[in-house]
Amino acid sequence: MLDTATRLFSEQGVGFTTIAQIAAAAGVTSAMVHYYFTNRDTLLDAIVDERLAPTVQFVWGPVTEASSDDPFEMVDAHIGRLFVIAEQMPWLPSLWMQDNLCEGGLLHKRMEKHLPFEKSALFIKLIKRAQRKGIVNRKIDALLLVNSLFTLVMTPLATSQFAGRFPGATTVTRPMLERHVKALVTGGMRPLDAGPRR
Protein backbone atom coordinates (compact mmCIF):
# COMPACT_ATOMS: atom_id res chain seq x y z
CA MET A 1 0.00 0.00 0.00
CA LEU A 2 2.88 2.37 0.73
CA ASP A 3 4.43 1.60 -2.65
CA THR A 4 1.12 2.26 -4.38
CA ALA A 5 0.54 5.46 -2.43
CA THR A 6 3.99 6.86 -3.25
CA ARG A 7 3.54 6.03 -6.93
CA LEU A 8 0.14 7.73 -7.11
CA PHE A 9 1.38 10.71 -5.13
CA SER A 10 4.25 11.13 -7.59
CA GLU A 11 1.90 10.90 -10.58
CA GLN A 12 -1.04 12.94 -9.34
CA GLY A 13 0.22 14.94 -6.38
CA VAL A 14 -0.44 14.31 -2.71
CA GLY A 15 -3.40 16.68 -2.54
CA PHE A 16 -5.16 15.13 -5.52
CA THR A 17 -4.85 11.49 -4.49
CA THR A 18 -7.59 9.96 -2.38
CA ILE A 19 -7.54 6.96 -0.07
CA ALA A 20 -10.12 5.33 -2.37
CA GLN A 21 -7.76 5.68 -5.35
CA ILE A 22 -4.89 4.19 -3.37
CA ALA A 23 -7.06 1.28 -2.27
CA ALA A 24 -8.28 0.58 -5.81
CA ALA A 25 -4.76 0.70 -7.26
CA ALA A 26 -3.46 -1.58 -4.49
CA GLY A 27 -6.32 -4.05 -4.99
CA VAL A 28 -7.72 -3.63 -1.47
CA THR A 29 -10.67 -1.87 0.09
CA SER A 30 -10.61 1.61 1.57
CA ALA A 31 -11.43 -0.03 4.91
CA MET A 32 -8.23 -2.06 4.64
CA VAL A 33 -6.17 1.11 4.07
CA HIS A 34 -7.83 2.72 7.09
CA TYR A 35 -7.13 -0.40 9.13
CA TYR A 36 -3.38 -0.04 8.64
CA PHE A 37 -3.33 3.74 8.42
CA THR A 38 -5.97 5.37 10.56
CA ASN A 39 -6.20 8.43 8.32
CA ARG A 40 -4.39 10.30 5.57
CA ASP A 41 -1.95 11.92 8.02
CA THR A 42 -0.89 8.52 9.37
CA LEU A 43 -0.28 7.31 5.81
CA LEU A 44 1.87 10.36 5.01
CA ASP A 45 3.83 9.90 8.23
CA ALA A 46 4.51 6.26 7.31
CA ILE A 47 5.77 7.23 3.83
CA VAL A 48 8.15 9.77 5.34
CA ASP A 49 9.37 7.51 8.16
CA GLU A 50 9.71 4.28 6.16
CA ARG A 51 10.52 5.47 2.62
CA LEU A 52 11.98 8.98 2.67
CA ALA A 53 13.79 9.48 5.98
CA PRO A 54 16.21 6.52 5.56
CA THR A 55 17.41 7.97 2.25
CA VAL A 56 18.53 11.17 3.98
CA GLN A 57 21.06 9.34 6.14
CA PHE A 58 22.36 7.44 3.13
CA VAL A 59 22.81 10.50 0.91
CA TRP A 60 24.66 12.49 3.56
CA GLY A 61 26.95 9.60 4.54
CA PRO A 62 30.02 10.89 2.63
CA VAL A 63 29.99 14.21 4.51
CA THR A 64 32.48 13.81 7.36
CA GLU A 65 35.23 15.93 8.87
CA ALA A 66 37.70 13.86 6.85
CA SER A 67 36.02 15.11 3.67
CA SER A 68 37.96 18.36 4.02
CA ASP A 69 40.91 16.54 2.41
CA ASP A 70 39.07 16.54 -0.92
CA PRO A 71 35.82 18.55 -1.16
CA PHE A 72 35.50 17.51 -4.82
CA GLU A 73 35.38 13.85 -3.83
CA MET A 74 32.81 14.64 -1.12
CA VAL A 75 30.52 16.39 -3.62
CA ASP A 76 31.07 13.68 -6.23
CA ALA A 77 30.05 10.98 -3.72
CA HIS A 78 27.04 13.02 -2.59
CA ILE A 79 25.80 13.34 -6.18
CA GLY A 80 26.41 9.64 -6.79
CA ARG A 81 24.26 8.69 -3.81
CA LEU A 82 21.45 10.95 -4.99
CA PHE A 83 21.40 9.02 -8.26
CA VAL A 84 21.43 5.71 -6.36
CA ILE A 85 18.29 6.57 -4.39
CA ALA A 86 16.61 7.96 -7.50
CA GLU A 87 17.25 4.62 -9.22
CA GLN A 88 16.04 2.60 -6.23
CA MET A 89 12.94 4.78 -5.89
CA PRO A 90 12.05 5.96 -9.42
CA TRP A 91 8.98 7.76 -8.10
CA LEU A 92 11.07 10.03 -5.84
CA PRO A 93 11.99 12.80 -8.35
CA SER A 94 8.37 13.27 -9.45
CA LEU A 95 7.11 13.06 -5.88
CA TRP A 96 9.63 15.70 -4.81
CA MET A 97 8.57 17.95 -7.70
CA GLN A 98 4.85 17.46 -7.07
CA ASP A 99 5.17 18.13 -3.35
CA ASN A 100 7.33 21.22 -3.77
CA LEU A 101 5.06 22.73 -6.40
CA CYS A 102 1.97 22.24 -4.24
CA GLU A 103 1.28 24.98 -1.74
CA GLY A 104 2.05 23.75 1.75
CA GLY A 105 3.95 20.60 0.59
CA LEU A 106 2.53 17.98 2.98
CA LEU A 107 5.52 15.65 2.74
CA HIS A 108 8.06 18.48 2.81
CA LYS A 109 6.73 19.67 6.17
CA ARG A 110 6.99 16.17 7.61
CA MET A 111 10.54 15.75 6.32
CA GLU A 112 11.80 18.76 8.26
CA LYS A 113 12.35 16.72 11.43
CA HIS A 114 14.53 14.29 9.45
CA LEU A 115 16.70 16.88 7.73
CA PRO A 116 20.39 16.44 8.64
CA PHE A 117 21.09 19.96 9.85
CA GLU A 118 24.37 18.91 11.48
CA LYS A 119 25.57 17.24 8.29
CA SER A 120 24.53 20.14 6.07
CA ALA A 121 26.22 22.59 8.47
CA LEU A 122 29.40 20.49 8.27
CA PHE A 123 29.14 20.40 4.47
CA ILE A 124 28.90 24.19 4.34
CA LYS A 125 31.81 24.56 6.77
CA LEU A 126 34.02 22.25 4.70
CA ILE A 127 33.23 24.06 1.46
CA LYS A 128 33.97 27.43 3.07
CA ARG A 129 37.22 26.07 4.50
CA ALA A 130 38.24 24.89 1.03
CA GLN A 131 37.35 28.31 -0.37
CA ARG A 132 39.62 30.03 2.14
CA LYS A 133 42.43 27.70 1.08
CA GLY A 134 41.81 28.59 -2.55
CA ILE A 135 40.78 25.04 -3.44
CA VAL A 136 37.14 25.89 -4.26
CA ASN A 137 35.78 28.82 -6.25
CA ARG A 138 35.07 31.64 -3.80
CA LYS A 139 32.09 32.85 -5.83
CA ILE A 140 30.12 29.73 -4.94
CA ASP A 141 27.64 30.11 -2.10
CA ALA A 142 28.11 27.05 0.10
CA LEU A 143 24.52 27.11 1.37
CA LEU A 144 23.07 27.32 -2.12
CA LEU A 145 25.33 24.48 -3.21
CA VAL A 146 23.49 22.15 -0.81
CA ASN A 147 20.16 22.83 -2.55
CA SER A 148 21.70 22.91 -6.01
CA LEU A 149 23.02 19.35 -5.80
CA PHE A 150 19.59 17.90 -5.02
CA THR A 151 17.85 20.05 -7.61
CA LEU A 152 20.34 19.28 -10.39
CA VAL A 153 19.70 15.57 -9.93
CA MET A 154 15.96 15.47 -9.22
CA THR A 155 14.63 18.06 -11.68
CA PRO A 156 15.97 16.43 -14.89
CA LEU A 157 14.77 13.02 -13.69
CA ALA A 158 11.32 14.36 -12.83
CA THR A 159 10.97 16.10 -16.20
CA SER A 160 12.71 13.52 -18.39
CA GLN A 161 9.56 12.91 -20.46
CA PHE A 162 9.72 16.51 -21.71
CA ALA A 163 13.43 16.48 -22.55
CA GLY A 164 12.88 14.13 -25.48
CA ARG A 165 10.63 16.66 -27.20
CA PHE A 166 13.47 19.05 -28.02
CA PRO A 167 14.72 18.90 -31.64
CA GLY A 168 17.70 16.59 -31.91
CA ALA A 169 17.25 15.33 -28.34
CA THR A 170 18.45 11.86 -27.49
CA THR A 171 17.36 9.59 -24.68
CA VAL A 172 19.03 10.72 -21.48
CA THR A 173 20.33 7.79 -19.49
CA ARG A 174 21.20 7.82 -15.81
CA PRO A 175 24.98 7.42 -16.44
CA MET A 176 24.85 10.29 -18.96
CA LEU A 177 23.01 12.57 -16.56
CA GLU A 178 25.24 11.61 -13.63
CA ARG A 179 28.39 12.42 -15.65
CA HIS A 180 26.84 15.72 -16.71
CA VAL A 181 25.87 16.81 -13.19
CA LYS A 182 29.22 15.83 -11.70
CA ALA A 183 31.15 17.64 -14.45
CA LEU A 184 28.92 20.70 -14.15
CA VAL A 185 29.24 20.96 -10.37
CA THR A 186 32.87 20.00 -9.87
CA GLY A 187 33.87 22.12 -12.86
CA GLY A 188 32.06 25.10 -11.38
CA MET A 189 33.70 24.47 -8.02
CA ARG A 190 37.18 24.94 -9.46
CA PRO A 191 38.77 28.32 -8.77
CA LEU A 192 38.65 30.53 -11.85
CA ASP A 193 42.44 30.67 -12.09
CA ALA A 194 42.94 26.95 -11.59
CA GLY A 195 44.14 24.65 -14.33
CA PRO A 196 42.24 21.50 -15.28
CA ARG A 197 41.93 18.89 -12.53
CA ARG A 198 42.95 15.34 -13.21
The CATH number covering residue 78 comes to 1.10.357.10
Report whether pLDDT(171) > 80. Answer: no
Question: pTM above the 0.85 mark?
Answer: no
**Does 8 fall in a domain?**
no
Query: In the chain, which residue ranges form alpha helices assigned H by DSSP?
Result: 2-12, 19-26, 30-36, 40-47, 53-59, 71-88, 92-101, 106-111, 117-132, 142-158, 160-163, 174-189
Residue 86 structural domain: 54-189
Tens-digit pLDDT profile for residues 101-140: 555 677 888 888 888 899 999 999 999 999 999 999 999 9
Which pLDDT value is given to residue 112? 84
Report whether pLDDT(11) > 90. Answer: no
Q: How many other C-beta atoms lie within 10 A of the C-beta of residue 165?
A: 7
**Does 167 fall in a domain?**
yes
Which pLDDT value is given to residue 26? 93
**Does 59 fall in a domain?**
yes
Report whether pLDDT(193) > 80. Answer: no
**Does 4 fall in a domain?**
no
Residues 6+ apart with CB under 8 A from 97: 154, 155, 158, 159
**Does 108 fall in a domain?**
yes
Domain count, the chain: 1
Determine what percent of the chain is predicted with pLDDT higher than 70: 89
- 178, amino acid identity: E
**Does 67 fall in a domain?**
yes
